[in-house]
Amino acid sequence: MKETCGNYLENQPQRHYGVTAPISLAPPREIDYIHTQKLIEAMKPFGVFEDEEELGRRIVVLSKLNSLVKEWIVEVAEKKNLPSSVSSRCGGKIFTFGSYRLGVHTKGADIDALCVAPRHVERSDFFQLFFEKLKLKDGIRNLRAVEDAYVPVIKFEFDGIEIDLVFARLAVPILSDNLDLRDNSHLGSLDIRCIRSLNGCRVTDEILHLVPDKENFRLTLRAIKLWAKRRGIYSNMLGFLGGVSWAMLVARTCQLYPNALASTLVHKFFLVFSRWEWPNPVLLKEPEESNLNLPAWDPRVNPSDRYHLMPIITPAYPQQNSTYNVSTSTRAVMVEEFKYGLVVTDEILQGKSDWSKLLEPSNFFQKYKHYIVLTASSSTEEHHLEWVGLVESKIRVLVGNMERNECIAIAQVNPQSFPGSKEKFKESDFVSVWFLGIIFKKAENAESVCVDLTYDIQSFTDTVYRQANNISLLKEGMKIEAAHVRKKQLHNYLPADVLQKRKKSMPDISQNIGGPVLRSTSADDGCLGRYRDVGVGTQSRALPPFSSVAKPSSSSSKEAERNAVFQSTNIYTNREKPPNVLQPLMSSQEPDSTVADNMAAPSPSTYSISKAVETDVAPTTAHNHQQHLDGVASASVKNISVNKRGHAPALQDGFKRLKDVGTRSLGDTTLVPTSGTLRSQRLSSKELPDSSSPIPASGVRVVKNSIRLTLNR
């Protein structure tokens, strides 16, 4: 039967998916079915598959919620004296999006839902009247509204299932039961909050519409999401990728290999994105034009879009970059994980290993020699939930501060937080702890270089306290503390089972052995993202156009397939540039000849701005590839100089030793000014101790000590 199906697929014309032709239309082989079944078995212990009973509970809860919404919308119509002929049929509906809509939710996962109402229902009705209706409903627990969020939401548990419910009001008097949210006409006359609320459903539906086989897509996405969580790179908030970004990368892989099974798609995923030439964007379809003039991702129009490091563009209008939080450090970490994933899946498909190796957790607490321990504490559980949410949402600010320090090469945060130990934090009842791994850049020609982290951490804590104060969240007992520790001191903060050494299962980026290097771009680099991967492929100096995508080679050979991926780009020759748009700033130097020729060329022919990788990956094992990858992050960023802030003499190449120096007085250090806030009202970090200093007991938030290290040759 499988063989017959394969022959059928080979002989049938297929629908074209994506912005390029597929790399391979090869049907699955017998061994692919075996590998896929083994992949399923490897994922089962992690609870990624929901049983029929729990799935049935979700369907029942959503049905109850849908009925509740319809009932409430009729009540609002009657309250506003609408005719009974209108109120009885005005409609209203619950839509789902996110992992549940994609069909990849796990056991116990929440449901992202959208309440769509007709025009007589205001947003204030949703957050007041419907909120009160939910309060009175049996089975509703932990009800809370977050009205001032970027996408306003009501959160609650309904019969034990967590639901995040957003709201959108359409400019129509009656909503039909067969409402299609993918229709752009629904966006007319809507406020930006409604457009953001609709965006989740519209993007999810577009993704499902743009993949050739939904079941293969879902199984592959389950595997990739599980892998990303195990490797500590699943968190949009902390600068990695969130669920929708992982879904779009998997969807693009499915478009390139439309007939492949999940086991093959997982391998091809790592092949494609270990070779992708960032910051060229990932697109699932050609960008849509619209006369609605909504703000959309477009580097031709928006200069800030040219600086995004890892753009993955949503397929629904208005197109957005789902990865704007990605930083140089998080991108370097993810790219190395892609490369290591390719090595492991190569071994699996060759029968040298099994899928459990791919799903091994990262050795985050063995990777680095130096860590920043960030703690958030509060006096009550209710306050702590709010405080932790705010602090966690701002940690990427701290990572950005660290990256701009000229002494730091990599700053990686572990997405998992840990409860504080009772022995270490005796005065606080509720404590959460995060860990940031730090790699210091190497230097020479300096006997002793001082690395001062005080400003980096102080500006972060000021940002958090200022935000908490502005939204009236700050309560007595809420504190942030930061300390520098070495790897050997982590046992003071973490239990032994977390710290126990496992065999090396991810690239150790703390050694300087070799690998791609991130370099700062020059002025004639088209004002694009600040950094490029050198050694992964030749980069163009032209501004990547909006439709920059991977264009596979027509060759069918193995080598061509591996080198095809990445990347050819079409200049916008068939699209008119929007009127009154400023041209990107160019260097005062003579433009690169190829760029100049392209700019002057009147013909509509396309121009490749980057060429494929010139050599194939040599056969290797995870062990020797591991040695090659060791230390790539430190090498990857050792030449970064743009926007680096110096605390010490310029650093060049090699620290022989790091020595902690006891905390020193800041003296007349000036704090970051707080706009619109009196000095007496400003709430800054209480203290920034090194691990050698006791955690201060005073509740007064005054900077007393600094975190300073001396780097000796």
Helix (H) or strand (E) run with residue 421 in it? none
**Beta bridge partner(s), residue 482:** 374
Report residue 62's pLDDT band, with 50, 70 and 90 as the boundaries. Answer: very high
- 243 annotated binding-site participant: yes
CA end-to-end distance (rounded Å), the chain: 68
Q: Is 110 annotated as a binding residue?
A: yes
Q: What is the pLDDT of residue 646?
A: 53
Whether 362 is a known active-site residue: answer no
Catalytic residue among 17, 32, 87, 112: 112
Between residues 686 and 384, the one the model is more confident about: 384
User: Is 654 one of the annotated binding-site residues?
Assistant: no
Cα–Cα distances in Å, from 366 out to 176, 410, 505?
Answer: 57, 15, 10
Q: Give dist(CA 140, CA 5) in Å, integer.
A: 48
Q: What's the rounded mean pLDDT across residues 568-592?
A: 35
What's the full length of the chain, in residues? 713
Known active-site residue 675: no
The active-site residue out of 100, 197, 229, 234 is: 234
3-state secondary structure of 594: helix
273 is in an annotated binding site: no
For tokens 């979700």, name the residue. Answer: 58
- 225 is known as an active-site residue: yes
Using alpha carbons, select from 482, 321, 485, 277 the residue that is nearest to residue 397.
482
Residue 111 annotated in ligand binding: yes
Domain ranges of the chain: 17-46+211-362, 50-209, 364-495
Q: Please list the alpha-helical segments (H only) found in 373-422.
A: 381-403
| 574-598 b/e (C-beta count within 10 Å ≥ 16 → b) | eeeeeeeeeeeeeeeeebbeebeeb
Catalytic residue, candidates 17, 32, 93, 99: 99
Q: pLDDT band at 493, cuts 50/70/90?
A: confident
Task: For residue 628, give both structure tokens.
Answer: 């090659």
Q: pTM of the prediction?
A: 0.74
What's the pLDDT at 668? Answer: 34
How many other C-beta atoms are found inside a 10 Å radius of the C-beta of residue 41? 12
**Residues ≥6 apart with Cβ < 8 Å to 362:** 230, 231, 232, 505, 506
C-alpha span between 361 and 530 (Å, rounded):
31
| 112 marked as part of a ligand binding site | yes
In CATH, 364-495 is 3.30.70.590: yes
Domain 17-46+211-362: give its CATH code: 1.10.1410.10
Nearest to 191 by CA among 267, 292, 101: 292
b or e along 507-544 (b: 16 or more beta carbons within 10 Å of the residue's beta carbon)? bbbbbbeebbbbbebeebbbbbbbbbbeebbebbbbbb
> What element of type H or E holds 710?
strand 708-712
Res 423 pLDDT > 90: no
99 is known to lie in a ligand binding site: yes
Pick the closest to residue 261 from 500, 38, 99, 79 (CA basis).
Answer: 38
Choosing from 24, 70, 110, 644, the catalytic residue is 110
pLDDT, the chain, mean:
74
Q: Is 234 annotated in the active site?
A: yes
Percent of the chain at pLDDT above 70? 66
Query: Encoding tokens for residue 705?
Result: 């000590």
Distance CA 657, CA 53 (A): 58
Residue scoring higher pLDDT (667 or 56):
56
Name the packing angle between helices 214-230 and 262-274 (round to 10°). Answer: 60
In percent, the amount of the chain with pLDDT more than 90 equals 44
Determine whether the annotation assigns residue 91 to a binding site: no
Look at the block and give the residue holding tokens 């007496």: 680
Sort strands 111-117 and 140-146 into parallel, antiparallel or unpaired. unpaired
User: Each residue of 91-135: pLDDT tens digit?
Assistant: 889 999 999 999 999 888 999 999 999 999 999 999 999 999 999
Annotated binding-site residue? 106: yes
pLDDT above 50: residue 599: no
Has 377 been annotated as catalytic?
Answer: no
Helix count and strand count (H, E) for the chain: 21, 15
- Residue 213 marked ligand-binding: no
Higher pLDDT, 28 or 570: 28
CATH of domain 50-209: 3.30.460.10
Q: Which of 93, 225, 479, 638 is catalytic?
A: 225
- CA 37 → CA 34, 43, 223, 602, distances in Å? 5, 10, 12, 54
Catalytic residue among 17, 100, 125, 164: 164
pLDDT at residue number 447: 64
The string of pLDDT tens digits covering residues 303-346 is 999 999 999 999 999 999 999 999 999 999 999 999 999 999 99
- Express each pLDDT in 213-262 by its tens digit: 999 999 999 999 999 999 999 999 999 999 999 999 999 999 999 999 99
55 three-state secondary structure: helix
Which tokens go with 59?
């369907």
What is the model's pLDDT at position 440? 87
Cα distance between residue 438 and residue 6, in whole Å: 50
The CA-based angle 200-262-414, given to 5 degrees, is 60
